Amino acid sequence: MSDFLALGNCTLDDVVTPDGRVSPRQLGGNAVYAAAGMRLWGVDVSLVSVVGADYPATWLEQLAEAGIDVTAVTRIEEPHLLRSRAFYFPDGSRTDRIEEARAILPAHAGEIIDLESEYTDTGSPLHRRIWPIFCPDLSQWETIAQHAAFAHFAPGPLPCSRANAAFLKHQRGGDVVISFDWPWWDWDLEGQVDAALLRNIDYLLPSIEELALHADAAISEKERGEHSGGHVFEAARRLLDYGPNGVGVKMGARGMRLLLRGQKGWNQIPTHPAQVVDPTGAGDAFCGGFLVGLSRTSDPVRACLHGAVSASFIIEEFGVLHTLQVDTATANARLHSLEHTLSHPKSSV
Q: What is the pLDDT of residues 89-145, one digit of tens each?
A: 988 889 999 999 988 899 999 999 999 999 999 999 999 999 999 999 999 999 999
Separation of alpha carbons 45 and 63, rounded Å = 10
Query: Residues 88, 305, 294, 67: is their CA dihedral positive or negative?
Result: positive
Distances (CA, A) of 191 to 63, 184, 187, 305: 37, 10, 10, 30
Backbone angles phi, psi at 137, to 5 degrees: -110, 105
Mean pLDDT of the chain: 93
Q: What is the pLDDT of residue 181?
A: 98
Q: What is the pLDDT of residue 348?
A: 37
Length of the chain: 349
Neighbours of 132 (CB within 10 A): 12
Q: What is the pLDDT of residue 74?
A: 97
State which amino acid sits at residue 263: Q
pLDDT at 228 exceeding the cut of 60: no
Rounded to the nearest 10°, the torsion over CA 236, 167, 305, 84 is -80
Range 4-173+276-343 has CATH code 3.40.1190.20: yes
DSSP code for 285: H
Tens-digit pLDDT profile for residues 23-32 = 999 999 999 9
In this prediction, residues 57-80 reach a mean pLDDT of 96
Rg (CA), the chain: 19
Q: 327: Cβ–Cβ under 8 A, 6 or more apart, which residues? A: none
- 3-state DSSP call for residue 315? coil
- 3-state DSSP call for residue 228? coil
Higher-confidence position of 226 and 22: 22
Please list the residues that pair with 256 across neighbouring strands: 250, 269
Q: What is the pLDDT of residue 223?
A: 62
